[in-house]
């Protein structure tokens, strides 16, 4: 019998589950409710989640034997990091597994936005040929402002450069030289707002980034700017974005994430200049396999007190 007990509380690709099962006693309960989780978590040494499960302070406190929480993916905003740290619970993620998938989703949404592809498809399926009404624009020669130049932001910058875009970026965690090495011109946020034809966001949701893009930011942007967000809901003030769209300050937005998910049919989701997707950034078969395999290895390393690649706290 293994000395470790692991609970998988969200859907995880079978490759990751098999790695865990080879070294631990694993319970796979992807539909477990918050109340059920609180009742059973005390029996486990490790908890593996994706985005659905909320690892609250109460869960951490109830996890008397809990040593590690593993997030299969990048964002850890569904985990109370302060509670984990105070409870001596290690938190790890798999930050590189979904880089390609999210970068490609960003470019797909960007292209769909500037060429009106969802509207064109809807018109065709409704029997309408609206060629003249759907004149688009080109990426080539446009300025792309990247806010957050980590793994995903840098991957987006690399791909956008191949379209002939000029890349400018802001990231307080990298020096100017590091930003240049990642393929972008380093600038401050006001310069992104003033110069960018398109802006893409690749930052985590933290107290500092919540509503980072709000009314004041929109007022500083070039009129007719387009916005893409595949990062986290809450980084954009959705009320302010709707106002900016209605005023014509923002020509269009492509949103894969929302402050509340699912958001329902809000005025923002229904807006004709908005492309809305149900948080599809990491939803490729390849990314899900990588995330599962990476987090399984990292969780087992934490349980065995081995070196960690992606420790958050």
Contacts 24+ apart (CB under 8 A), 167-171: 168/143, 168/144, 168/192, 168/195, 168/196, 169/145, 170/145, 170/146, 171/147
Are 93 and 119 in the same domain?
no
Is residue 311 assigned to a domain?
A: no
Are 177 and 240 in the same domain?
yes
Are 292 and 236 in the same domain?
no
Report which of 180, 283, 178 is spatially closest to residue 230, judged by C-alpha positions: 283
Is residue 281 assigned to a domain?
A: no
Tell me what the mean pLDDT of segment 156-173 comes to: 98
Tell me what the mean pLDDT of segment 16-29 comes to: 97
Residues acting as catalytic residues: 232, 261, 279
Are 84 and 228 in the same domain?
no
User: Which residues share a beta bridge with 166?
Assistant: 143
- Cα→Cα distances 132→12, 108, 113, 116, 120, Å: 46, 23, 17, 12, 11
Is residue 39 assigned to a domain?
A: yes
Rounded distance, CA 276 to CA 236, Å? Answer: 14
pLDDT value, residue 91: 98
Are 27 and 93 in the same domain?
yes
Is residue 266 assigned to a domain?
A: yes
Are 290 and 262 in the same domain?
no
Are 92 and 110 in the same domain?
no
Is residue 144 assigned to a domain?
A: yes
Total of domains in the chain: 2
Are 57 and 151 in the same domain?
no
Is residue 259 assigned to a domain?
A: yes
pLDDT value, residue 5: 98
Report which of 287, 305, 283, 313 is spatially closest to residue 100, judged by C-alpha positions: 287
Is residue 138 assigned to a domain?
A: yes
pLDDT value, residue 1: 60
Are 243 and 151 in the same domain?
yes
Are 114 and 219 in the same domain?
yes
Are 72 and 141 in the same domain?
no
pLDDT value, residue 2: 75
The domain in which residue 128 lies consists of: 99-276
DSSP sequence for the chain: --S-EEEE-S---HHHHHHHHTTSEEEE-TT--HHHHHHHGGG-SEEEE-SSS-B-HHHHHH-TT--EEEESSS--TTB-HHHHHHTT-EEEE-TTTTHHHHHHHHHHHHHHHHTTHHHHHHHHHTT---TTT-----STTPEEEEE--SHHHHHHHHHHHHTT-EEEEE-TTS-HHHHHHTTSEE--HHHHHHH-SEEEE-----TTTTT-BSHHHHHHSPTTEEEEE-S-TTSB-HHHHHHHHHTTSEEEEEES--SSSS--S-HHHH-TTEEE-SS-TT-SHHHHHHHHHHHHHHHHHHHTT---SSB--
Q: Tell me the per-residue pLDDT of 182-233, one tens digit each, with 9 for 90 and over.
A: 999 999 999 999 999 999 999 999 999 999 999 999 999 999 999 999 999 9
Task: Determine whether 307 is exposed, middle or buried from the number of CB atoms within 10 Å of its CB (0-12, 13-18, 19+).
Answer: exposed
Q: What is the pTM of this model?
A: 0.91
Is residue 312 assigned to a domain?
A: no
State the CATH number of the domain containing residue 26.
3.40.50.720
Of the chain, the percentage scoring pLDDT greater than 90 comes to 98
pLDDT value, residue 240: 98
Are 85 and 132 in the same domain?
no
pLDDT classification of 241: cutoffs 50, 70, 90: very high
Q: Tell me the per-residue pLDDT of 44-73, one tens digit each, with 9 for 90 and over.
A: 999 999 999 999 999 999 999 999 999 999
Q: Tell me the per-residue pLDDT of 151-160, one tens digit each, with 9 for 90 and over.
A: 999 999 999 9
């Amino acid at each position: 019998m293994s000395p470790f007990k692991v609970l998988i509380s969200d859907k995880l690709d079978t490759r990751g589950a098999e790695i865990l099962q080879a070294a631990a006693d694993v319970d796979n309960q992807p539909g477990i409710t918050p109340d059920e989780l609180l009742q059973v978590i005390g029996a486990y040494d490790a908890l593996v989640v994706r985005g659905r499960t909320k690892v609250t302070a109460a869960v951490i406190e109830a996890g008397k034997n809990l040593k590690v929480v593993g997030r299969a993916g990048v964002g850890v905003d569904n985990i109370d990091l302060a509670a984990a740290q105070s409870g001596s619970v290690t938190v790890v993620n798999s930050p590189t597994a979904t880089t390609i998938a999210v970068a490609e989703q960003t470019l797909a949404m960007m292209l769909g936005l500037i060429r009106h592809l969802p509207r064109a498809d809807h018109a065709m399926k409704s029997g309408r040929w609206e060629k003249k009404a759907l004149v688009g624009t080109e990426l080539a020669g446009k300025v792309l402002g990247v806010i957050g130049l980590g793994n995903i932001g840098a991957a987006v910058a690399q791909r956008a450069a191949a379209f002939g875009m000029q890349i400018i970026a802001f990231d307080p965690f990298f020096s100017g030289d590091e930003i240049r090495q990642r393929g972008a011109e380093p600038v401050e946020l006001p310069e992104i707002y003033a110069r960018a034809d398109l802006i893409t966001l690749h930052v985590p949701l933290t107290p500092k980034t919540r509503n980072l893009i709000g009314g004041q930011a929109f007022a500083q942007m070039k009129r007719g700017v387009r916005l893409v967000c595949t990062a986290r809901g809450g980084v954009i003030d959705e009320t302010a974005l709707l106002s900016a769209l209605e005023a014509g300050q923002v020509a269009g937005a492509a949103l894969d994430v929302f402050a509340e998910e699912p958001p329902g049919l809000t005025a923002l989701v229904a807006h004709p200049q908005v492309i809305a997707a149900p948080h599809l950034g990491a939803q490729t078969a390849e990314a899900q396999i990588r995330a599962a395999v990476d987090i399984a290895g990292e969780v087992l390393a934490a349980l065995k007190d081995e070196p960690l690649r992606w420790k958050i706290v």
